[in-house]
């Protein structure tokens, strides 16, 4: 760079948490190097902007960089000087965006270590090459960290501490004081029949605190009761479809028998809650992605304070608006029941379905909800049981057998109710039934859609294209 006596430079310094300890990359080392550079070339230091402990992956939350950009737009300095371009950003896209803002305001960008200036074509080309290398380094670091965490998890390690354990050299070690509290929580739930809210209030009245030193809430108790870490298992990728458990290297606090009892009680409580709310549940339809044949999942977006419901394919990012989908479904069913030759067989299908027309519908819906919860509970027990050397295997086997028996009894009860509902309805009723059904479908009433969902064989969707196949 040529000698310019009247140049004003903004010095930008950024260090991540890891880089602060590395030689030559600390904030003070960067400041000293940049000041020496300015002194050597006769450049006046306008101001120093420092973002400490922040990643270069994104521009978000970098307050000092925002302050620098505001000063740049006001043209309060002539150049931005950094130690390395990776200090400004490790993303090539973000880096080029910042350089573009600088140039629009006649501000040059220079790197002390790489020795180039964006005011020349060669300097700009060098910048893009170095930016690509910085982004490659960041991606490599991210991949290495992911691989390290996966290997650590595979060996049964767990980096975070939970109530009852302390993290010592990345290993869970029992904290006897907290472990006693965990045992108390399980005893209150399994032996004293206290719910999560009651347990939280009781612990708060005694002055107990969570691992982070705050008061207990219902969600804290639920997390403890459902966490298999207390029987020696570590959960990973929680609350995702890829969630799995691995035998940990830490000792158990709760025996598997009491933990199974707690899960059983939790399932029973969930069933009672679902039974109360079964009449107000929204209709849920299995929708298949037309592109990759995967089942689409519900997600929500928010705009101007309103919430919108969509279905999205997790494999190819295909999505469809649920409101529009339900309108298409409603129109397809209305077209079917308008066909007089299809009314009688359609009525028979609806009578045989769980949402019967005259009687038993509410009870059958509650039974189906119970069966669904029991099946989820069974799958949870199997995932924990299979492949792990759990000392008390009898408790798991007995509980799984008990769940299977409950499911069998509920299935039989559901069949009997369906038969009774069908016997109580005659085909003479269908004309009167369909007369009112069309108006309810046009109004998109959830109950009407629930009653007629049995007429649909399959639904496929891709953006605005929706394909509905009916049984009749």
Rounded to the nearest 5°, which phi and psi values hold at 70?
-65, -40
Q: Is the dihedral of CA 152, 155, 161, 166 positive or negative?
A: negative
Number of helices (H), then strands (E), in the chain: 15, 15
Task: Please indicate whether residue 16 is annotated as part of the active site.
Answer: yes
- Antiparallel, parallel or unpaired: β 171-174 and 288-289: unpaired
Rounded to the nearest 10 degrees, how much is the dihedral formed by the CA atoms of 362, 368, 370, 376? -150
CB 172 within 8 Å of CB 163: no
CB 449 within 8 Å of CB 329: yes
Separation of alpha carbons 242 and 118, rounded Å = 46
Q: Among 16, 26, 113, 424, which one carries the catalytic annotation?
A: 16
Closest CA to 1 of 32, 43, 46, 30: 43
Separation of alpha carbons 87 and 65, rounded Å = 11
Instruction: Name, in order, each residue with C-beta under 8 angstroms of 70's C-beta and a sequence gap of 6 or more.
Output: none
Instruction: Name, in order, each residue with C-beta under 8 angstroms of 371's C-beta and a sequence gap of 6 or more.
Output: 407, 410, 411, 414
Ramachandran area for residue 164 (φ above 0: left; ψ -120 to 50: alpha; else beta): left
Q: Is the dihedral of CA 67, 70, 75, 81 positive or negative?
A: positive
- Copy the structure tokens of residue 303: 């705009």
Separation of alpha carbons 361 and 406, rounded Å = 20
The CA angle 193-195-199, to the nearest 5 degrees, is 100
Residues with a known catalytic role: 16
């Amino acid at each position: 760079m040529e000698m310019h006596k009247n140049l004003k430079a903004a010095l930008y310094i950024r260090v991540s948490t890891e880089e602060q300890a590395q030689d030559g990359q600390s904030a003070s080392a960067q400041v000293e190097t940049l000041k020496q550079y300015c002194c050597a070339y006769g450049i006046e230091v306008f101001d120093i902007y420092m973002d400490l402990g922040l990643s270069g992956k994104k521009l978000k939350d970098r307050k000092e960089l925002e302050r620098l950009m505001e000063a740049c737009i006001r043209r309060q300095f002539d150049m931005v000087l950094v130690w390395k371009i990776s200090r400004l950003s490790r993303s090539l896209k973000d880096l080029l965006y910042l350089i573009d803002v600088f140039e629009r305001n006649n501000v040059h960008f220079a790197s002390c270590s790489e020795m180039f200036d964006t005011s020349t074509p060669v300097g700009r080309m060098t910048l893009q090459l170095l930016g690509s290398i910085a982004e490659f380094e960041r991606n490599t670091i991210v991949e290495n960290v992911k691989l390290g965490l996966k290997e650590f998890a595979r060996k049964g390690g767990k980096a975070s501490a939970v109530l009852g354990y302390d993290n010592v050299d990345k290993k869970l070690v029992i904290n006897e004081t907290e472990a006693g509290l965990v045992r108390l929580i399980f005893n209150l739930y399994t032996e004293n029949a206290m719910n999560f809210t009651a347990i939280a209030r009781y612990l708060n009245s005694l002055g107990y605190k969570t691992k982070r030193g705050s008061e207990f809430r219902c969600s804290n108790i639920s997390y403890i009761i459902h966490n298999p870490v207390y029987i020696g298992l570590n959960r990973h990728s929680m609350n995702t479809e890829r969630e799995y458990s691995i035998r940990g290297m830490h000792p158990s606090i709760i025996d598997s028998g009491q933990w199974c009892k707690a899960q059983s009680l939790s399932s029973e409580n969930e069933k009672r809650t679902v039974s109360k709310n079964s009449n107000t549940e929204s209709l849920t339809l299995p929708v298949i992605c037309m592109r990759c044949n995967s089942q689409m999942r519900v997600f929500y977006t928010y705009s101007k304070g309103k919430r919108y419901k969509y279905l999205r394919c997790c494999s190819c990012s295909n999505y469809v608006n649920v409101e529009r989908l339900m309108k298409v479904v409603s129109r397809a069913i209305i077209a079917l029941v308008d066909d007089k030759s299809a009314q009688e067989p359609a009525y028979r299908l609806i009578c045989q379905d769980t949402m019967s027309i005259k009687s038993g519908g509410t009870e059958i819906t509650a039974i189906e909800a119970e069966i669904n919860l029991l099946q989820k509970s069974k799958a949870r027990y199997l995932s924990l049981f299979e492949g792990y050397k759990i000392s008390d295997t009898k408790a798991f086997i007995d509980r799984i057998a008990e769940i299977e028996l409950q499911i069998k009894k509920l299935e039989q009860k559901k069949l009997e109710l369906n038969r009774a509902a069908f016997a109580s309805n005659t085909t003479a009723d269908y004309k009167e039934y369909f007369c009112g059904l069309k108006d309810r479908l046009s109004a998109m009433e959830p109950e009407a859609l629930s009653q007629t969902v049995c007429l649909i064989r399959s639904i496929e969707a891709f953006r605005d294209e929706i394909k509905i196949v009916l049984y009749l």
